[in-house]
Structure 1
Amino acid sequence: MYGEQRGAAVCDYDEDGRVDLVVTQNGADTKLYKNFGARPGLRVRLSGPPGNPKGIGTTLRLVSGAITGPAREVHAGSGYWSQDSTVQVLALPERPTQLQVRWPGGKSFSAAIPKKAREIQVDVEGTVKLVKSE
């Protein structure tokens, strides 16, 4: 990559559970850097209320036994001409069993993660739908 970077976004472009990077530059081609090396994580897709269908502002944490992963907040933008995906990719050293969710209005719950889940969808009521499994 050379030149002046203008925008960047992280997303799981190929839906393999690994976060990829897209970078735009002045005077150069847009670059897609596909992540081949990382261990795949759990893709979490939110289904929010009518005024916030993508769950912007929601905080997510994975739990595996006594280990609680770092908090991840869903954002609407990430910089100059940039927007990250609202589908979050979360990872822990062990297989996660619970997902802690805190919606912007303060509603919080923990939801069980289906075994062998690769992608789940969670709604504001705490219902978990298996989207993709191993």
Structure 2
Amino acid sequence: MRAMFAGATASGWTLHSISVASGVSCSTIKGWLLEGKEPTLSRALSVALVIGRRAINSINALAGYGGATPFEETAGPDFVTMIPGCLEDLSIIAAATARGGLDHTGEPAARAAADRILARLLPISSAGQAE
């Protein structure tokens, strides 16, 4: 959290302005910075949305993701790579479940493939278009 706020204050944000824009109280933010308290994901994202893309990606990086961009800034789906990638991942899932279910050897690969499929298809789904 400290690094996220250091970048924000270097860009001209104050704790007060971040608090007002995010709806997270100054005392809560100070608790994170001065007392080492951990934010809830909801509050961390509220603050990150105010600070910007770098802050959002720093939170996403905790789960192994990055490169987030607002939907309105994306060029649109790349169907040329999306569809073949989904088919490749479906074949991984099919191979892992060919024996009638997932076992401890096939589950990690199938789970990773399913996550990639969801990530690829989310932008064109109704969930990805939610306002």
Asked whether the two chains share a fold, i.e. TM above 0.5, the reply is: no
- Higher helix content, 1 or 2: 2
Using CA pairs under 8 Å that are at least 6 residues apart, name the structure with larger relative contact order, 1 or 2.
1
- Higher strand content, 1 or 2: 1
TM-score tier (shorter): under 0.3
Bigger Rg, which one: 2
